[in-house]
A and B are shown apart, each in its own frame.
Chain A
Amino acid sequence: MKIESFLERLQQSDGYRNQIETIKIFPEQEPIYENPKKALSPAIQNYLDRKKIRLYRHQARTIELLHEEKNILITTPTASGKTLAFNLPIFEKLSQSKTGTALYLYPLKALCNDQLQSLQQLEAGTLLKFNASVYDGDTPEHQRPKIREKSRIILSNPYALHHYLSWHHKWKRFFENLQFLVLDEAHWYRGVFGSNVALLLRRLKRILHFYKAKPQFILASATMANPLEHSYKLTGEHFSLVAEDGSSRGRKYFVLWNSQKNQERSAHRQASDLFVKSVNADLQTLCFAFSRKLAELTVMWAQGATHKNLAAYRAGYLPEDRRQIEKSLKDGSLNGVAATNALELGIDIGALDSVILSGYPGTMLSTWQRAGRAGRSQQDSLVTLVGFENPLDQYFMRHPDHFFERPHEHAVIDLNNEHILLPQMMCAAAELPLRDTENACWGEKTEALINALEAQRLIQKTPMGWVYRGMARPADVVSLDNISTQTVRLLCEGQVLETLEYNRALEEAHPGAIFLHQGETLLIENLNLGQCVATARRSEVDYYTETLKSTQIRIRSVQGTQKWGAFDLSYGDVLTQHQVIGFRTMRFDKPLGMHPLESPQTEFETVALWFTLPTELREQIKKYGLDWAGGLHAAEHALIAMIPFLALCDRWDIGGLSTAMHIDTGVATIFIYDGFQGGIGIAEKTFELFSELALHTHQLVRDCPCEKGCPSCIYSPKCGNGNEPLDKSAALMILSDLAIATQNK
């Protein structure tokens, strides 16, 4: 009731510009309780009885599958009691021996500490003692031996594990007895990081095999389109899926708020206004913002308009401060918090009345994770998505049905990228010599990879296998986050602000570039490629810069083809060549000046999909007096903008090229490629889902109310040609033909 009247008042308030595109109501759900078929041990059952906890059906199912010694994957929503569901049988099993151990991995440190508390509470509550401990980079040196030798539950993160594996003999006791490996927030493991973690887990499995341990795997993840495929790729194990939620849910109102209906106030200000109205209506509210800076601004703006108790929450705050905010949210003393994605993960803050998403978070997966923060059991809750100007946001504003009905994205992991495989194999070789039986870890390329490492004298064959003989510790050289090639350090006033990949530095840190670093504006003064250093100074300017670059693509090999009417679609390996040729200074989308640059040409191999367009289409477009090249270019931008709708990635992870005549195909061609060396699976996934992509991209451009193209449809924020030429009408003709062709099968 409270929510309904709030929404009514909102629509009657001054300044309301019909921004609400839709209100979708998700009905309440009665809880479905069930007991596991095989009773839990007395210690565990007593604990549940004492705490008056009744198990939901999905929790019972989880326990049963673990009793049957299956690997399980749970994808029920936030706050459905996933953690308890697997902790109970883990505690039960560990209590049946004196030695069994469990390893919990979380993608971020902060989560370890949060989960440690709940494990310790469970230890206290069940009177079972496993010395659950966090072991990561922050663990004091003097505590480490004791944890390795005594703890039966250890919580850590992949970054730390990456360094510990070469010390495996110190972990002998723990690894030998490992019964469970828990990977929480498994959806986090995707893209470059996920692919590296997948191989890190292969390294861990080699070592476990050496110690003759074979743990059960437990994965918990947000809902995604391909949970079984993803979990298999991530771990090399098969899983039983528990997806059906049996917990109780109150009614949930989901509002799509189109900020573009009000041109007088920026989208960020509108989100802040909603934040104020929501807390003033006594709804405890969490507002998600894109950056640390925006989270703080949202609170600052809001504090001018309400006396309610508000705070910002982001990574970088001291742990104590964050704990305090989490606690105040739980006990209700804080009325509103503006946060970055730091609160998206499973940190326990209780449930709230209202969640505002300031801008589409980029993925459906994040959207529902964040939306899951709203909704105490049995009570109504509200989620508001404030749509921004960009294509995907606007697409959803105009197609609410697609927004609410669409399955979540596909998480991509690539186990064939040599740029990731080779460094990981080098790490493995320094942990245990590589044997002939390595195919299980490294796939069909095993032999070629070993040969490549051997040729560079990084490993050498001995009677014990191939042993590492390089000079540095591999784990120090290999990063889980990057496909690290060379990196460039960005210096400002003598301080290193961040390190950039070489190619990114060429594009974004050239002399004269305006570079944004955590909300600060920097002017790049110099880029020294010899020393790999860019120097910058802080600067208040009222313009920004756009890099102009030329890109060429050569096809190396074709991995797959599909024929869609007159369009021939392929994917395969390509070589991309890039050269930054200059930059434009811009103010409010108006070019101020053009500056040529001389910079080296770079190239990298990656995976691309491309399609050729029929010449008849060109003739038709020309007949209407439209621009063929502008149409190709605009269609390419729109397609790229829609890819994050299908595969879990950012549009910045994808590159594109359109040309009226390509040297390898001989005709007009549009290329879309993975922006990472060796590819990360995006192009491949897009190839699989191409008909969907074509359909949605067509709808996006067709339904955008602009006349000649705008940032909501065919403009790209990273276009190397300054968004020229673009022809929306021509693009529409191309996209409609493409959509029709691909829907026909």
Chain B
Amino acid sequence: MKDLAQVAQRLKQRVRISQENSYLSLEQTSAFAFSRTSTQQIEAALRLKNALIEEFKNIELSEVFSTRLVQTELGTFCQISHEEKIELATFDPAFAQTMIESELKLLYGVGPALEQSLRARGVSKLSDLAHHPRWGQEVQRILDALQARDLKQLENQLARWLPRSHPTAMRLAHMIEPGSLLFFDLESMGLFGHPIILLGVARPHQHGITVHQYLARNITEELPALMHTFGQLNSAQAIVSYNGRAFDINYVKDRLNYYGIAGNFEPVHFDLLTHARKRFRSYLEDARLETVEREILRRERSMDLPSMLVPEFYNTYLEEKNIGPLIPILEHNRQDLISLTLLFSKLCEP
């Protein structure tokens, strides 16, 4: 079937051209807050890619990183692990409890004005209204949730009356056992509708964090890596992301649905983008993680891969069968996770 092969070849070309055009339009419009990349940066990155191909010729991933092949019912994927020494903020459940208990705006109909007049009448915390005819029941529900450490219920209650970016929402984190938090960031082949190639999670422990990166070395490994990550996200007490509410979590659901798996889950979720945006608005030109990292966390990356070039690098890895272009993708994802934990700590500070 020579003709059909030609038709397919032309189709492939069209797909490629369309992809290349989308780089250009991203660059020109820079409408995306997350991909403001100059032509120079792109050129530098492409030079880097060639250098990496040279550098990593005939080298296996396992020679560079601590890797492990994970076998699941659905197939195999590759896990890459790192230990990072990071000092996290100390969490204080009592502090969270006090903060939430004194947030009167968590009650139906209480806005700033009513709050003020309540405070003027000596009401300083929710329990003062435990027997109030109007709010008593609601107060009891919140206190019960606090008692039971029902984070989902508390998150919902907070989200119902306060903006997502409200500092009290962040305080909730103090009620969580750090070891059951999961930091999450993914790398994909584009904006929705494309495969996910790397899922990174970080879990705090006494001496720092453990980063696990689940890499799909080709598309057959996407689903096993996804399912593995999905299991972890589901069993974590809460997850922490940067723009994950709009992007990462929906992306995971989208891909699971593509494979015909209903991926519905609603974890307790600290999306640091909204908090960082609110907290640092006056200092920063934008709220990209890179900017926050540089200006607030005072971290510099020696080399960073612009997100929009991830597909290009990954494809080269596939086509050349050379792990070189994969290195900066893994590194980019690991750095994002480290920054995420540091930023989380910063935002949790009382």
Q: List chain A positions with a Cβ less than 8 A from chain B.
A: 166-169, 210, 418-419, 422-423, 426, 430-433, 445, 448-449, 451-453, 455-458, 460-464, 467, 469-474, 476-477, 484-485, 605, 678
Report whether B190 and A473 are in contact in the complex, using a CB–CB cutoff of 8 Å: yes
Distance of B75 from chain A, by nearest CB (Å): 6
Q: Which of A452, A460, A605 contacts B8 (CB 8 A)?
A: A452
B75 surroundings in chain A (CB, below 8 A) = 462-463
B7 and A419 within 8 A (CB): yes
Closest to A474 in B: B15
Interface string of B268-296 (1 = CB under 8 A from A): 00000000000000000000000000000
Our pick among B4, B7, B15, B259 for the contact of A433 (Cβ within 8 Å) is B259
Q: Which of A169, A426, A462, A467 contacts B254 (CB 8 A)?
A: A169
Judge whether A471 and B260 touch: CB under 8 Å: no
Query: Does any Cβ of A come within 8 Å of B82's Cβ?
Result: no
Q: Are B7 and A418 in contact, with the CB atoms below 8 A?
A: yes
User: Which of B189, B223, B259 is A471 in contact with, Cβ under 8 Å?
Assistant: B189
Q: Taking the complex as formed, is B193 at the interface, i.e. its CB lies under 8 A from any CB of chain A?
A: yes
B10 at the interface (CB under 8 A from A): yes
**Shortest distance from the beta carbon of B151 to any chain A beta carbon, whole Å:** 26
Contacting pair B4 A449 (CB below 8 A): yes
Which A residue sits closest to B318, measured CB to CB? Answer: A457
SS class, residues of chain B in contact with chain A: helix
Indicate if the CB atoms of B4 and A456 lie closer than 8 Å: no
Q: Which of chain A's residues have a CB closer than 8 A to the CB of B7?
A: 418-419, 422, 452, 678
B12 beta carbon closer than 8 Å to chain A: yes
B218 touches A452 (CB 8 A): no
Q: Is the CB of B10 within 8 A of A458?
A: no
Q: Can you list 15 pairs linking A and B with CB atoms under 8 Å apart?
A: A418-B7, A419-B7, A422-B4, A422-B11, A426-B15, A448-B1, A451-B1, A452-B5, A456-B12, A460-B218, A460-B220, A462-B223, A463-B220, A467-B195, A477-B18
When C-beta atoms are compared, the residue in chain B nearest to A473 turns out to be B193
* 4 interchain residue pairs of minimum CB distance: A169-B257, A452-B8, A472-B18, A471-B19
Residues of B contacting A453 with CB < 8 Å? 8, 11
Q: Which of B180-222 contact A (CB under 8 A)?
A: 189-190, 193-195, 218-220, 222
Q: How far is the CB of A438 from chain B (nearest CB, A)?
A: 14
In the bound complex, CA of A484 to CA of B7 (Å): 11
Residue of A nearest to B254 (CB): A169
**Which residues of B295-337 have CB atoms within 8 Å of chain A's CB atoms?**
311, 315
Contact B253 A452 (CB under 8 A): no
Proximity bits, B67-93, A CB within 8 Å = 1, else 0: 000000011000000000000000000
Check if A418 sits within 8 Å of B3, measured CB to CB: yes
Of B4, B15, B190, which one neighbours A448 at CB under 8 angstroms?
A: B4
Q: How many residues of B contact A (CB 8 A)?
A: 36
Given contacts A169-B254, A463-B74, A472-B19, are A422 and B8 in contact (CB under 8 A)?
yes
From residue B329, how far is it (CB to closest CB) to chain A in Å? 15
Minimum CB–CB distance from B100 to chain A (whole Å) comes to: 30
Given contacts A210-B260, A422-B8, A471-B15, 7 further A-B contacts (CB under 8 A): A167-B254, A432-B258, A461-B220, A467-B219, A473-B18, A474-B15, A477-B18
- Check if A462 sits within 8 Å of B8, measured CB to CB: no
Output the least CB separation between B32 and chain A (Å): 16
| CB-defined contacts of B4 to chain A, threshold 8 Å | 418, 422, 445, 448-449, 452
Nearest neighbor of B261 in chain A, beta-carbon distance: A464
A-side contacts of B222, CB under 8 Å = 462, 467
B residues near A426, Cβ cutoff 8 Å? 11, 15
Is A452 within 8 A of B219, CB to CB? no
**B16 touches A (CB below 8 Å):** yes
1/0 contact string of B5-49 vs chain A (CB within 8 Å)? 101111110111011001000000000000000000000000000
Contacts known (A472-B15, A472-B18, A473-B190); A456 close to B9, Cβ less than 8 A: yes
State A477–B5 Cα separation when bound (angstroms).
18
Q: Is the CB of A464 within 8 A of B260?
A: yes
Point out the residues of chain A lying under 8 angstroms from B74, CB to CB: 463-464
Given the known A-B contacts A422-B11, A471-B15, are A460 and B193 also in contact in the complex, defined by CB atoms under 8 Å?
Answer: no
A458's partner among B12, B190, B254, B257 (CB-CB below 8 A) is: B12
Q: Is the CB of B315 within 8 A of A471?
A: yes
Whole-angstrom distance from the CB of A435 to the nearest CB of chain B?
A: 10
Tell me which of A448, A473, A678 has the highest count of chain B C-beta atoms within 10 A of its own C-beta.
A473
- Assess A423 versus B11: contact at CB under 8 Å? Given A448-B1, A455-B5, A472-B22: yes
Give the residues in chain B near A419, CB-CB below 8 Å: 7
Per the bound structure, the CA–CA distance linking A455 and B1 in Å amounts to: 12
Task: Choose one: A451, A467, A470, A476; the contact of B12 (CB below 8 Å).
Answer: A470
CB of B158 to closest CB in A, whole Å? 22
